[in-house]
Amino acid sequence: MNRTSVFSFRLSIEERRIISDLASQYQRSQSDVIRLLIRDARKKLPNLGKDKKNHGEKENDPTSIES
């Protein structure tokens, strides 16, 4: 899979340490660990994104950052 989109966010020192520890435990990169956690969360929320457009955001939703 070709990954061209970049997403960044702020972490506390503790959160960064947790990601680093998970990456070491899984012997994967920190990015891979985040991807694995996102996919695992998605499996646990089977209705996430259904009946919605634009990456899970409601069309014409005033709370959407793309509005």
pLDDT class of 67 with cuts at 50, 70, 90: very low
Token pair listed for 35? 């991807």
pLDDT band at 63 (very low <50, low <70, confident <90, very high): very low
Do the beta carbons of residue 58 and residue 52 sit within 8 Å?
Answer: yes
Nearest Cα neighbor of 67 from 20, 51, 57 is 57
5-61 pLDDT, tens digit per residue, is 999 999 999 999 999 999 999 999 999 999 999 999 999 988 877 765 555 544 444
pLDDT at 29: 96
Q: Is the pLDDT of residue 62 over 50?
A: no
- Quote the pTM value: 0.63
CA dihedral sign, ordered 60, 64, 65, 66:
negative
